[in-house]
Structure 1
């Protein structure tokens, strides 16, 4: 873009005329030397060509004078706001600082300029302007409400000036901002006239075909419409005068934008929008007689024309929550046309038109949350009368500050409670982003995930595949959403860790040929001081608990178990004839064990881990308590015991005839065929030397898995039984546990 610095003769004349008009209107609110200083500043800027033209080639000093007049005429602002808008071009161009303005013209003017500067910084972050959050951020960033009012007036003036520009892309962008951002702001502040102008001009620039179509239709029907209004109100005026009422009447045609929205909503042509205008009857009366005279007017009109009760709106008896008061009725006028009639007093009309009651609550403009509505309502009250205008000049935004708004890299705005951190934002985006968050880049500066967020920050979350959530994160985040997601992530992480550790332990137990018993493992956890299995597995995963310690405690508990088998009596070694492990048997009694070299009077038990029976190859293991446990030589725990506690191993061998009975357990797997269980139990019952003590069968997907607990004399009989059971049709596997 080529930059132009020189004023044309036409622009000098225009600026002089605007300044003269502005000086007359603002003079009463100016302080001593204000007029001389501002005139001198503007002349200097013009002579030195300090200020460059904007994107559309418009002269910013002329534009600022136009905006200042609009601020006075349409909104009622005075000194501070006007001086700020006139000085803003020089501040933006860098020829004047905000501190210099504050020193010369006062802190209030400097504060307004600072607010305008912060808004410009927001725009540089390419925000999504359609967002309700951006409107709220704009309000919070402005610091002074007059900043927002200046921006609305400036956008109205800009929209008026760019009609003939050839910068179509910039024109489209400005028009979209007017429709999505500035019109709703004007509506919220009750600046209905400015809101309608912004919407109509936006439609004109964005959808010119629709705009000119409706405009031509309105022009074509204007004469007929005016004639009909005259015909409709003539008899009403006569009746009201005869009743002694003081009033005036006016017709209000819908804005082009409103008509277009109704055509789209109702999916109809222009001719299908029957309520193009409304008749407004405004009564001049004392406040104490307002309701009486409004209802009197209502009675006169409904006597003359048939009313539609479904279209009746009584905001006189019960005003709207925003203070709006009026009677709305729809009656069937001449030529069978429906006409809306609004009945109100001068006071009510002034409130509705000036914006204190505003139409934004009931016209479909989404309101912001929490204290914003209450705060805006206070602003509208300040705009209600002249004293409010003076107060506005001294007004500093007291916006609630319990919410902040931050940008994503794409320009989307997210809302958080004050005090929220980077981690809150990460979990707001997605659980996986939160759990992998390592920090963020805020306004191009790298920070940790503990960093507190502030309104206007542009935040890019940084993640790592090696990051995982931790318990202390719960004290970092502010939002309930983030806390809930962290708790869920911690639970999932702990479950995954527990599963991995459990599998790792099982693998290590198997490698050492130690059979892992679930109940014994739970006892091991408790002996190691853990109440919850999750804590036990977590400490192993985090290496605060050594796996070897777990093995040691497990084996210690395993060897210390009191297991009674056979006839459930702990036998003395005196019952056995001692014999060398490799030596010849010196059998004397039925069913005896020969242990060691000369161990007499020592108790022994049969180990539960391998359940040895008569005939099995066995050895003895001296327990901590001094007793002996008998294990099978192929016991899963035998290699580990020999490796670590070889000095506690003693020889042992069966002798005698094997007359005692021992409890053994068989695991059986097979097809779940009809009668298969009966066939298994039948084999056992036919052998009078066998006793079936227990059976547990589980069937799933056509297969059964079960255990049989049997009392049996020796391993020879056991091997014969296993062979018989394997012959049963459908049996796939029989093995001793």
Structure 2
């Protein structure tokens, strides 16, 4: 986990001096001397002469001074862990030239400020020994017990040599960390302390690495800190990421804030003095402090609202800390009597806490000279939670029923990660879902029984159903919001009361992926589509691969188990069936796999003649077409959710069609003249496959019609009658004025069996005297 590392000797992939080779011979005598001195100086002041950074003895006196809340026996174990880590990292240095052990000690000190338990402090000291030294998990179990070893193992990255790319290695390591974190929240607390110290010492690493680490921090670690309520770390990581990812903008805003600090000092002092006096007169004891907003929050406001720095007036905020909840509301009344509140700028996070457990009253007032001033009012306990979140008043207990509200909320979120893990196909998909859930804002809604639930801003009614339980989401057919039946895609608002109507016969629709917002909903839908319709996807994938093999003139009889094993090693799939399902879901290219199989056969010289007798999709050699002949996939409408007919063009039997393999969404069917399909085809030609209608089709398809009619009473009813008289069902109808008072356009979505049936409907409409024109429409 250590990021800014140096490599004075030979290095491994982490930039550390290799422990196998040790330090150079000329350094051995120096280190031996220092180790001899360490028994005298390790835990007390040292009078040793000043040495270069890399030769200085590291003391944990500062760490020990912060551990007064632990028992002497626990502190002794922590000292033992320090000695073990110091010896394990001997000869390893940071980019700054300091001994590497300075980093674990600094991480442990951060953990001690949260008053974490002894195993957490020990894990902080040992967090890199498995990853960067010859030490193993078994060694840690033997020395310090299984709990400490599990924490350290959860903090250890996976070997990058196992993966095809840095992105895949990063996703796998994050997934491993999140799962360890779901089992034990101490893992992420130590990791956040580790990342915070790395960010504070990032000056020593090259610019390119600074930007990469800063981007990773703002994208993953800062949101995790916010999600767990660790607001001090959250703000620190944001500002540090801003500093290293956008150094010039950071310096400009930093200078502007320093100038403003001098210009507004008099106003801030006046507000503090006036407010303290007002509270004193009413005998309300408060702790009143002014707080400067972080540089990143100022920059974000400038960027999001397109403001210059001079237009960002609320650079300063004031925090009012009182003894009880009653005094919070009393303090609010006092402030509102002093300055006028700005409409719409009051938020009560005490009555309805934020999703990470944060509680305060927020109000923005018009201060002196009409300058907006923000006040945050909270109790002392709320302040502890606001600053340290899940780490506030930390006391780790397995399955403790005495968890605080904020710890309970964190526990619920961590448990949801396990649900996402169970539903995700791979580590990168898992990481994508988790990023969705690391949201900065929330909307609060209610169940019919009055229980409150928090969802990300923009969440839909279907997201709510999945937040209750995956099975409820999978079987959802309708929702009622505030008593009114509304579409599943309806966006939720604060205070909505949602009732879910399930049906045991309902199944998830691939179209749901287009509008759900939460990671749990997306993961559950994809998992259901993959498992419930596994056979459909497998069949489609086999057909797609068989077609691609025919195009490459590959004799399927040469596909021996050995060749399949080599292919699966190349793709990373566990079985042939999994590879075919991934083709159907758009995660793999059938053409790419067919080319790879051809290469593998050519490498073996075509000598292998083993047959795969159980494969229904394998084309016998005598049926192979001429080289590169393209054979289309037949579509009969019975493929289920492995295939979808797109609403942009509503293809129906008789139309010329083309198929697109959307990632995770199966085969999407378009008409070959669909404007959207043509635009997508020009950008991503590899994911398109040839498809044709089958001979027997036993279902109906949606189609859009625009009908220009004369104005008049009963026109809609007569036009609808013309549609139904042609044996067609109307799914949707809308109207809009076209020629003002002369005519109106009626838009229908109807169901037809094929183009002949559509022609029959259109003839019936044209025979209607109210109808001027009938056209089939599509989305542009």
**What's the TM-score once normalised by structure 1's chain length?**
0.51
CA distance in 2, matches of 1:331, 1:263: 20
Q: CA deviation at 1:211?
A: 0.5
Question: Partner of 1:16: helix, strand, or coil?
Answer: coil
Q: Measure how far apart 1:202 and its partner are.
A: 1.4
What's the CA shift string for 1:162-197, capped at 9, x where partnerless? 22x251111221111111111111111111111111
Hey, what does 1:257 align to over in structure 2?
A: 296
Residue 402 (structure 1) aligned with residue 422 (structure 2): yes
1:108 maps to 2:147: yes
Structure-2 separation of matches of 1:426 and 1:148:
39
Q: Give 2:66's aligned residue.
A: 25
> Any conservation in 2 of the 1:308–1:331 contact (CA below 8 Å)?
yes
Task: Tell me the SS of whatever aligns to 1:307.
Answer: strand
2:577 maps to 450
Corresponding position: 1:203 with 2:242:
yes
User: Which of 296, 300, 305 is residue 330 of structure 2 equivalent to?
Assistant: 296
Match of 1:336?
A: 370
Q: Partners of 1:227 and 1:122 in 2: how far apart?
A: 59
Counterparts of 1:130 and 1:338 in 2: how far apart (Å)? 47
Number of matched pairs: 450
Instruction: Give how far 1:15 is off.
Output: 5.1
Distance apart, 1:53 and its partner CA: 3.5
Is it true that 1:180 corresponds to 2:219 in the alignment? yes
CA distance 1:80–1:302, shift in 2 (3 Å): same
C-alpha displacement of 1:297: 2.1
Match of 1:485 among 632, 642, 647: 642
| Number of the residue aligned with 2:504 | none
TM-superposition CA deviations, 1:717-736 (whole Å, max 9, x none): xxxxxxxxxxxxxxxxxxxx
Distance, in Å, in 2 between the alignment partners of 1:301 and 1:446 is 63
Q: 1:16 aligns with which of 32, 55, 58?
A: 58
Cα shift at 1:447? 3.7
Q: Which range moves more in the overlay, 63-72 or 438-447?
A: 438-447
Within the candidate set 80, 93, 96, 2:135 is matched to: 96
1:121, 1:323 → 2: CA distance? 36
Shift of 1:24: 3.6
* Structure 2 gap segments, 5+ residues each: 1-6, 10-16, 18-22, 35-50, 393-398, 434-521, 547-563, 581-586, 598-611, 619-637, 656-693, 698-758, 760-780
The 5 Å alignment of 1:17-166 reads: 17=59, 19-26=60-67, 28-29=70-71, 30-31=73-74, 34-35=77-78, 37-42=80-85, 44-45=87-88, 49=90, 51-53=91-93, 59-73=99-113, 75-118=114-157, 126=165, 128=167, 138-140=177-179, 142=181, 143-163=183-203, 165=204
Cα deviation digits, residues 636-690 of structure 1 (max 9, x gap): xxxxxxxxxxxxxxxxxxxxxxxxxxxxxxxxxxxxxxxxxxxxxxxxxxxxxxx
CA contact (8 A) 1:183 1:195 kept: yes
**Contact residue 331 and residue 338 of structure 1 kept, 8 A:** yes
Aligned-residue offset at 1:307: 1.9
- Aligned in 2, Cα 1:147/1:39: closer, same or farther, shift over 3 Å? closer
Aligned runs of 1:533-548 on 2, under 5 Å? none
Cα distance 1:309–1:139, how it changes in 2: closer, same or farther (>3 A)? same
Q: For residues 106 and 132 of structure 1, do their structure 2 counterparts lie closer, same or farther at Cα, with a shift above 3 Å needed?
A: closer
**Counterpart Cα distance in 2 of 1:175 and 1:318:** 33
> Matched residues in 1 for 2:311 and 2:96: separation?
39
Distance in structure 1 (CA, Å) of the matches to 2:138 and 2:589: 36
Distance 1:14 1:378, change over 3 A: farther
Residue 21 (structure 1) shift: 2.0
Alpha-carbon shift at residue 404 of structure 1 (Å)? 3.2
Shift of 1:157: 0.6
Aligned ranges 1:579-598 → 2 under 5 Å: none
Residue 441 of structure 1 corresponds to 568
Counterpart secondary structure, 1:52: coil
1:201-600 map, 5 Å: 201-285=240-324, 290-291=325-326, 293-320=327-354, 323-356=357-390, 381=405, 399-400=418-419, 402-407=422-427, 435-436=544-545, 441=568, 447-451=574-578, 463-464=593-594, 484-485=641-642
Alignment partner of 1:86: what SS? helix
Q: CA deviation at 1:334?
A: 1.3
> How much does 1:272 deviate?
0.9
Write the mapping of 1:643-722 to structure 2, written as runs, cut at 5 A. none
Per the TM alignment, residue 450 of structure 1 is displaced from its structure 2 partner at its CA by 3.3
Task: State the shift of 1:488 in Å.
Answer: 8.7
Question: Secondary structure of the residue that 2:251 maps to in structure 1?
Answer: helix
| Corresponding position of 2:770 | none
**Structure 1, residues 33-86: CA drift from partner, whole Å, max 9, x if none?**
62563354245346xx3x53457766431111111111221x332322222232
Give 3-state SS (helix, strand or coil) of 1:117's partner. coil
Tell me how far 1:382 sits from its aligned partner: 7.0
1:432–1:81: structure 2 CA closer, same or farther, 3 Å change rule?
Answer: same
Distance 1:61 1:196, change over 3 A: same
C-alpha displacement at 1:255, in angstroms? 0.5
Q: How large is the RMSD of aligned CA atoms in angstroms? A: 5.2
When residues 323 and 403 of structure 1 are mapped into structure 2, their CA distance, relative to the original with a 3 A threshold, is: same
The answer to whether the 8 Å contact 1:183/1:199 transfers is yes
1:325 partner SS: coil
Asked if structure 1 preserves the Cα contact closer than 8 Å seen for 2:107 and 2:197, the reply is yes
Partner SS for 2:314: coil
Return the alpha-carbon distance in structure 2 between the equivalents of residues 32 and 300 of structure 1. 48
The residue that corresponds to 2:737 in the other structure is: none
For the 8 Å contact 2:64–2:75, the answer to whether it is kept is no
Question: In structure 2, the residue corresponding to 1:310 is in which secondary structure?
Answer: strand
Q: Deviations over 1:440-483 (max 9, x none)?
A: 63687664233599xxxxx97773499999799xxxxxxxx996
Aligned residues of 2:229 and 2:389 also touching (Cα < 8 A): yes
Whether the 8 Å CA contact 1:118–1:141 is kept in 2: the answer is no
Q: Deviations over 1:262-297 (max 9, x none)?
A: 111111211111111211211124xxxx23x23322
- Kept in 1, the 8 Å contact 2:250–2:295? The answer is yes
Which string of whole-angstrom CA distances, capped at 9 and with x for unpartnered residues, describes residues 394-422 of structure 1? x999944533351579x988957679979
CA shift, 1:317, in A, is 4.5
Residue segments in structure 1 that go unaligned for 5+ positions in a row: 359-374, 454-458, 473-480, 497-531, 536-699, 701-737
Report SS of the residue matched to 2:374: strand
Deviation of the 1:432 alpha carbon: 6.8
The CA deviation at 1:426 is 13
Cα distance in 1 for partners of 2:541, 2:577 equals 17
Contact 2:160 2:166 (C-alpha < 8 Å) held by counterparts: no
| SS of structure 2 residue aligned to 1:436 | helix
